[in-house]
Amino acid sequence: MAPDRLSRRRFLKGTAAAAIAVGAAGCGSDERDPTDGEDAGTRIDPATPTDAPTATAEPTATGSPTATPIPEVVAEYGDQFDSIVNVADAGADPEGGEPINDVLTDAIAEDTLVYFPAGRYALDYMEIEDVSRFGLVSIPHERTVIVPNGPIDEIGNHFVDFRGVGDILLDGLEFDFTESGVGGAVRTIAEGNVIARNLRTHGKLPDRNRERKHVAYRFEVRNPQSKGLVERVVARDGGHDGGNGVGIYVGKDHAGSLTFRDCEIANFPNNGLYASAPGQTLDGYTGNNGDIHVRGGRYENNNIANVRIGSTGSTVKDVTVVVDEVPPSPSRSHLNVRGIRLRARSDQLVENCEVRIGANAGRGFGAISYHPVHGSSTVRDTTITVDRDNFNAIDATDSSNGGSEAPLTFENVTVTGGASGGAAVDIADRPGTTLRNCRIEQSGADRRGIVFVDSENCAVVDSTIRVTGVPIETKNASVDRRNLSIETLRPGQATVAPVDDDG
């Protein structure tokens, strides 16, 4: 059935809507925010998703298809598109009885917005390619749920696949993977700009077949001049223990700029936000080094890394990472809990973040962890709490075997918690590393403060160290120590934050 296209000339009154060109630009370690000035369009209140059922509940759609034109759709998006298609009016079944692939295929065209009224829509694998200025949306007070029309073994592990597309808009869609064995990747590989916001996945990714790569969401902006905004994407049910699912993945061919804002990603066995591939040179490929900017959001109980970056000028700001239980993992030998992982390249910034590693988090390499080939970067105004024994708050991995040996900078970083054994900060093969205005207070037994190995000309300045073990330990390293407050704690002695004295 041919879609009922609504001409802008017939239905628009000149209403203003946000441009699709949004995103971030610029390098990360200077004082300006690369995302300052970006226009994210008309925003839906971040509190809106909390009115929806919890991620573990099976979604049920309410309401009935609304006849077009939809004033809210026209007002919100009309100036961006030449035509609007209501899929229900075009013949799509809003009760999930029949797959909507044919209707959706007929609707695909340049400068076209496809609107889903409230309902539950069944879909087989859908590939959308070689189209620009195209969008799939619902409106905030309606629930649009899309469910695979069969298990992953029939449909494949790519569910909705945008390939080679230009400017793309996705807004307000939910994906129901609550049935066992059902689910797949929502992939947007674009040559133009991308907005993807208010997307939610219910149910675990069917990721037990480890011969396949399983991803909930994948985003790439392949044109260096293009930008993307991924905002309020929620996938909290993760994957299976023994599986290998990834929450959000950015592929190596990303060359533009991508901003992830206020996303919630939890319980994945193979990284929460895996965004380091564009910066890597690995297995015969070189990534296109598109920058990544993570703004706000919560990343929780993901294995390998909760947030992982690796391209030049990338930034992580105002992010909360929590690991308070053992995450799912492909196997016990592949369990490696890490908060924020800096994988490759340099000139990256982690700022105003909070990372909490609980006593039951499971073993891992660090709340903030550095790969050997990663170059220089800065962590500032960040709080790290570690209660897991023998777990480093900051871990700069031994880079003597082909690593960069570039210096790291830490400014106004606070490390607290009751972890015993090991060290709060472990620096190896990083000459010139500096900790300034930092506070390290760890009350567990035999907990060392800062360890420097094979690292000359380092500095710890204007800082407080209160630990039960050696405050600063060196091995083949030199450290300039200035204006330090050092105290040896009794095991279990409470650590108390300094109180400002205004008198």
Nearest-angstrom CA–CA distance, 402 and 399: 6
Give a yes or no: residue 372 inside a domain.
no
Give a yes or no: residue 2 inside a domain.
no
pLDDT exceeds cutoff 70 at 57: no
pLDDT digits (tens, 9 = 90+) for 308-353: 999 999 999 999 999 999 999 999 999 999 999 999 999 999 999 9
**Lookup: tokens for 74:** 């026209």
Give a yes or no: residue 239 inside a domain.
yes
Nearest-angstrom CA–CA distance, 436 and 434: 6
Give a yes or no: residue 133 inside a domain.
yes
Question: What pTM, to 2 d.p., does this model score?
Answer: 0.87
pLDDT, mean over the chain: 86
Preceding omega of 407 cis (within 30 degrees of 0): no
Give a yes or no: residue 482 inside a domain.
no
Find the domain containing 230 and state its range. Answer: 14-63+96-364
pLDDT at 84: 93
- Which residue's entry shows tokens 């790291």? 408
Give a yes or no: residue 4 inside a domain.
no
Nearest-angstrom CA–CA distance, 133 and 80: 8
pLDDT digits (tens, 9 = 90+) for 440-450: 999 999 999 99
**Lookup: tokens for 360:** 């039951």
pLDDT at 402: 66
Q: Which residues pair with 300 in a beta bridge?
A: 266, 322
**Lookup: tokens for 477:** 């390293």
**Which H or E run contains 74?**
helix 71-77
- State the CB neighbour count (10 A cutoff) for residue 2: 10
Question: Count of domains in the chain?
Answer: 1
pLDDT at 480: 97
Give a yes or no: residue 164 inside a domain.
yes
| CATH code for the domain in which residue 334 is found | 2.160.20
